């Protein structure tokens, strides 16, 4: 379990065999005292738990006076109650409601004489449904409270009565002695503040997740949480955005009192368990969240997603699109934009699908992978779509076995460590062993707007080799470098087999209907220029050499500042530049090549203004060169607010216009 502020989203690359419960949906909960239990329950139900405590932790014992007052009230031993403050009134109820139902308390108060000092407790009691009998005049001090009792002596005499006084902060000794002078027994009910938390950052981070659309389900376990959420959001000036965003998520409330408060605050409750217990709440939310989200999506305005109309297609021919012309370094009216990993967990539509279907099943189901690719492109309004698949699918038919596990990302069942392992590797015939990829391409192509180009892709030989040897993601690539430096023959044999497979794979994708292909050499930045030249360049070059020359080929790597010249030598008609490289310098150096890049994907977490200036900086770096495709320096990160991604695409559309 994590707090909303921590970077956790990258760890849920889950591939469950059966999707159940929340199925990977992101669940924000406001509980403080039982935060650990709540987080565990959410995770056990398949959700990603995001803790956003909305109340300061108050020990139950601190509410002793409130609870004992409630007991006396319900036992009929209190004759009158004086409420001094609005906030205190609410806190008193919140404390009493940890033990008793609000209805019972309101009914018991009906049997007493209820007095208020001023308009604030009057309003609070009104909201709670409590009738008020006596109201002090202005200026609403203890003197006016006593005067109100004095004026109504004929209907209610204080003589011999037990009068409870709700105190908040400092008590009121004058009021107590005034009551005693009139023959009453004052009963002080000190209320401790059920305050907003001392550190509001996790709560604010949680609220920002809701606003940016990266949260799916909210759990309210008390009515004070709801009030505090609105109070904190108002103080941070985000309450309007929050209210808007609340319409998109599933709101679950622990019971009728909490639901009523949410209702009063204008927050619609979707789920309320029959029993007001934490476990029942999580269970009900886990059962109902997905169907509710899906139902809402179906009811949404039919037709294309809202941003789909923002793109104008100059032509129905994808070859004439901005993207393809930029790949060919032809002049464009506007810089084209698409984003690596534009379809993924940062998008709610994807998370909903993923909650039902393991990742590998998505990749092997042409209908679903087409849906993911098309939805992402339409939602963002980008100028190219990318096939929905993964660079590692090709290792399965090599005979290595592949799973995606929660927390660890991809895992290979067998690894290659020496020459005999290399001998066992199988070359891939893509049409035979990856037919679902070709089906997905045909299907995606058919569903995309005719003029929108579709990009196919593969891992580059080195990056695939690193997975094949390490068995998963790696930090130091020690096994890879050991094989590379200790057995040149085995290394070359392996790289040749991978390269032939990749070349056939990409060519088959072109035949199936993609307009361009990208080679992802994501981890090649761990090599020195000498290593790259010696152990990688010839193999990567063999892939590019085998591709149809009329198809643009994009060559991408990260951490490649020192390798760019060699990558150009290896091939590709478009060179990808990551965010750590100097784009202006690359633009001057590689004037004969199209470039793609390079905004830091982390800027997408910094808000729309930062995104707009990040966008301008990239466009300034390339000036008016032909042959530029706007992209990030690496893929969109999980947890990225989708609105900021849309803001980026909009900014490129705005600032990327050419004369």
Q: Which of 90, 120, 345, 364 binds ligand CP3 (CB under 6 A)?
A: 345
CB 394 within 8 A of CB 502: yes
- Binding of ligand CP3 at residue 490 (CB under 6 A)? no
Cβ distance to ligand CP3 smaller for residue 394 or 595? 394
Q: How far apart are CA 77 and CA 71, in angstroms?
A: 9
Judged by CB under 6 A, the chain residues 349 through 378 that form the site for ligand CP3 are 354, 359, 376
Q: How far apart are CA 98 and CA 317, in angstroms?
A: 65
Active site residue 390: yes
DSSP string, 185-254: EEEEEEE---PPPS--HHHHHHHHHHHTT---EEEE-SHHHHHHHHHHHHHTT-HHHHHHHHTTSEEEES
Cβ burial 269-278 (10 Å sphere, 16+ → b, else e): bbbbbeebeb
| Sequence-distant (≥ 6) Cβ neighbours of residue 349 within 8 angstroms | 297, 372, 375, 376, 379
In angstroms, what CA-CA distances link 172 with 38, 177, 184, 186, 545? 39, 9, 15, 11, 88
Q: Which of 42, 163, 392, 452 binds ligand CP3 (CB under 6 A)?
A: 392
In angstroms, what CA-CA distances link 20 with 275, 516, 548? 22, 37, 44
Q: How far apart are CA 464 and CA 189, in angstroms?
A: 69
Q: Which of 255, 410, 453, 552 binds ligand CP3 (CB under 6 A)?
A: 410
Number of residues that bind ligand CP3 (CB under 6 A): 26
CB 54 within 8 A of CB 154: no
Site map (CB under 6 A) of ligand CP3, residues 554-593, x = contact: ----------------------------------------
Q: Which of 30, 220, 388, 505 binds ligand CP3 (CB under 6 A)?
A: 388
In the chain, what is the straight-line distance between the N-terminal and C-terminal CA atoms, in Å?
52
Q: How far apart are CA 119 and CA 144, in angstroms?
A: 13
Question: Which of 175-183, 288-296, 388-396, 442-450 is the region at the interface with ligand CP3 (rule: CB under 6 A)?
Answer: 388-396
Cβ distance to ligand CP3 smaller for residue 72 or 473? 473
Q: Which of 86, 121, 635, 641 binds ligand CP3 (CB under 6 A)?
A: 635
- Binding of ligand CP3 at residue 208 (CB under 6 A)? no
- Binding of ligand CP3 at residue 334 (CB under 6 A)? no
Cβ distance to ligand CP3 smaller for residue 94 or 340? 340
Residue 167 pairs in a beta bridge with: 190
- Catalytic residue chosen out of the listed positions 390, 521, 578, 643: 390
Residue 539: helix, strand or coil by DSSP?
A: helix
Active site residue 341: yes
- Binding of ligand CP3 at residue 599 (CB under 6 A)? no
Question: Rounded to the nearest 5°, which phi and psi values hold at 191?
Answer: -115, 130
Residue of this chain nearest to ligand CP3 (CB atom)? 522
Closest distance to ligand CP3 from the beta carbon of 579 (Å): 13
Q: How far apart are CA 392 and CA 403, in angstroms?
A: 10
Judged by CB under 6 A, the chain residues 6 through 35 that form the site for ligand CP3 are 13-14
Cβ distance to ligand CP3 smaller for residue 318 or 635? 635
Closest distance to ligand CP3 from the beta carbon of 27 (Å): 17
Nearest to 411 by CA among 401, 421, 398: 401
Q: Which of 39, 344, 513, 633 binds ligand CP3 (CB under 6 A)?
A: 344
Q: How far apart are CA 187 and CA 133, in angstroms?
A: 19
- Catalytic residue chosen out of the listed positions 33, 56, 182, 341: 341
Q: Which of 213, 256, 409, 538 binds ligand CP3 (CB under 6 A)?
A: 409
Active site residue 208: no
Closest distance to ligand CP3 from the beta carbon of 350 (Å): 7
- Catalytic residue chosen out of the listed positions 26, 90, 117, 345: 345
Closest distance to ligand CP3 from the beta carbon of 558 (Å): 6
- Binding of ligand CP3 at residue 629 (CB under 6 A)? no
Question: Which of 218-226, 288-296, 340-348, 647-655 is the region at the interface with ligand CP3 (rule: CB under 6 A)?
Answer: 340-348
CB 335 within 8 A of CB 658: yes
- Binding of ligand CP3 at residue 342 (CB under 6 A)? yes
- Binding of ligand CP3 at residue 647 (CB under 6 A)? no
* Angle of the 239-246 helix axis to the 223-235 helix axis, nearest 10: 130
- Binding of ligand CP3 at residue 522 (CB under 6 A)? yes
- Catalytic residue chosen out of the listed positions 168, 192, 467, 505: 467
Q: Find the largest Cα–Cα distance for the chain.
A: 107
Closest distance to ligand CP3 from the beta carbon of 280 (Å): 29
Closest distance to ligand CP3 from the beta carbon of 651 (Å): 20
Active site residue 131: no
Question: Which of 152-160, 383-391, 592-600, 639-647 is the region at the interface with ligand CP3 (rule: CB under 6 A)?
Answer: 383-391
CB 595 within 8 A of CB 577: yes
Closest distance to ligand CP3 from the beta carbon of 2 (Å): 17
CB 463 within 8 A of CB 520: yes
- Binding of ligand CP3 at residue 444 (CB under 6 A)? no
Active site residue 192: no
| Sequence-distant (≥ 6) Cβ neighbours of residue 262 within 8 angstroms | 220, 223, 226, 251, 253, 268, 269
Give the per-residue SS3 of 567-619.
Answer: HHHHCCCEEECCCCCCHHHHHHHCCCCEEEEEECHHHHHCCHHHHHHHHHHHH
Cβ-based burial of 295 (10 A; exposed 0-12, middle 13-18, buried ≥19): exposed
Cβ distance to ligand CP3 smaller for residue 38 or 370? 370
Enzyme catalytic residues: 341, 345, 354, 390, 467
Interface residues with ligand CP3 (CB under 6 A) are 13-14, 340-345, 354, 359, 376, 386, 388-392, 404, 409-410, 457, 473, 520, 522, 634-635
């Amino acid at each position: 379990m994590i707090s909303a502020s921590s970077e956790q989203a990258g760890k849920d690359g889950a591939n469950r065999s059966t999707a159940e419960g929340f199925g990977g949906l992101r669940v924000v909960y406001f509980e403080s005292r039982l935060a650990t239990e709540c987080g565990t329950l959410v995770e056990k139900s398949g959700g990603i738990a995001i803790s956003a405590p909305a109340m300061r932790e108050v020990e139950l014992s601190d509410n002793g006076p409130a609870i004992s007052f409630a007991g006396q009230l319900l036992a009929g031993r209190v004759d009158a109650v004086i409420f001094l403050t609005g906030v205190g009134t609410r806190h008193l109820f919140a404390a009493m409601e940890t033990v008793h139902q609000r209805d019972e308390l309101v009914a018991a108060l009906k049997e007493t004489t209820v007095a208020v000092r001023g308009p604030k407790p009057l309003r609070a009691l009104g909201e709670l449904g409590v009738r008020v009998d006596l109201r002090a005049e202005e200026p609403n001090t203890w003197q006016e409270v006593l005067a109100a009792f004095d004026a109504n002596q004929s209907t209610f005499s204080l003589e011999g009565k037990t009068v409870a006084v709700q105190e908040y902060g400092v008590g009121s000794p004058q009021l107590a002695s005034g009551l005693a002078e009139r023959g009453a027994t004052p009963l002080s009910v000190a209320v401790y503040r059920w305050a907003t938390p001392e550190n509001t950052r996790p709560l604010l981070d949680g609220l920002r997740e809701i606003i940016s659309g990266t949260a799916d389900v909210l759990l309210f376990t008390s009515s004070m949480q709801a009030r505090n959420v609105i109070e904190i959001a108002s103080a941070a000036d985000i309450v309007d955005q929050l209210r808007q965003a609340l319409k998109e998520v599933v709101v679950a409330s622990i019971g009728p009192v909490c639901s009523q408060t949410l209702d009063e605050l204008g927050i619609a409750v979707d789920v309320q368990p029959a029993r007001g217990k934490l476990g029942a709440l999580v269970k009900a939310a886990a059962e109902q969240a997905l169907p509710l989200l899906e139902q809402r999506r179906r009811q949404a305005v039919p037709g294309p997603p809202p941003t789909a109309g923002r793109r104008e297609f100059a032509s129905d021919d994808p070859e004439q699109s901005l993207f393809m012309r930029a790949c060919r370094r032809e002049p464009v009216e506007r810089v084209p934009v698409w984003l690596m990993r534009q379809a993924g967990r940062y998008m709610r539509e994807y998370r909903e699908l993923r909650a039902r279907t393991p990742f590998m099943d998505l990749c092997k189901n042409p209908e679903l992978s087409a849906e993911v690719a098309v939805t992402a492109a339409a939602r963002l309004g980008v100028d190219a779509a990318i096939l929905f698949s993964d660079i590692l699918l090709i290792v399965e038919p090599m005979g290595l076995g592949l799973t995606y596990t929660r927390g660890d990302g991809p895992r290979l069942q067998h690894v290659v460590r020496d020459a005999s392992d290399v001998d066992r590797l199988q070359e891939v015939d893509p049409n035979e062993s990856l037919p679902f990829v070709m089906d997905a391409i045909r299907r995606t192509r058919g569903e995309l707007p005719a003029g929108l180009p579709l990009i196919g892709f593969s891992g580059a030989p080195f990056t695939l080799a690193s997975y094949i040897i390490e068995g998963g993601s790696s930090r130091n690539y020690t096994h890879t470098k050991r094989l590379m430096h200790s057995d040149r023959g085995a290394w070359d044999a392996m790289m040749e087999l991978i390269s032939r497979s990749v070349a056939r794979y990409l060519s088959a994708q072109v035949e199936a209907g993609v307009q361009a292909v990208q080679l992802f050499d994501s981890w090649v930045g761990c090599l020195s220029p000498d290593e790259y030249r010696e152990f990688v360049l010839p193999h990567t070059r063999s892939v590019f050499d085998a591709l149809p020359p009329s198809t643009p080929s994009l060559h991408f790597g990260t951490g490649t500042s020192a390798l760019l010249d060699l990558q150009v030598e290896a091939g590709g008609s478009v060179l990808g530049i990551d965010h750590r490289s100097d784009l202006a310098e690359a633009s001057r150096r590689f004037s004969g090549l199209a470039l793609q890049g390079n905004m830091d994907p982390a800027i997408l977490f910094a808000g729309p203004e930062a995104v707009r200036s990040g966008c301008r900086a990239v466009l300034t770096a390339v000036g008016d060169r032909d042959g530029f495709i706007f992209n990030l320096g690496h893929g969109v990160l999980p947890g990225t607010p989708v609105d900021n991604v849309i803001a980026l695409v909009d900014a490129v559309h705005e600032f990327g216009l050419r004369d």
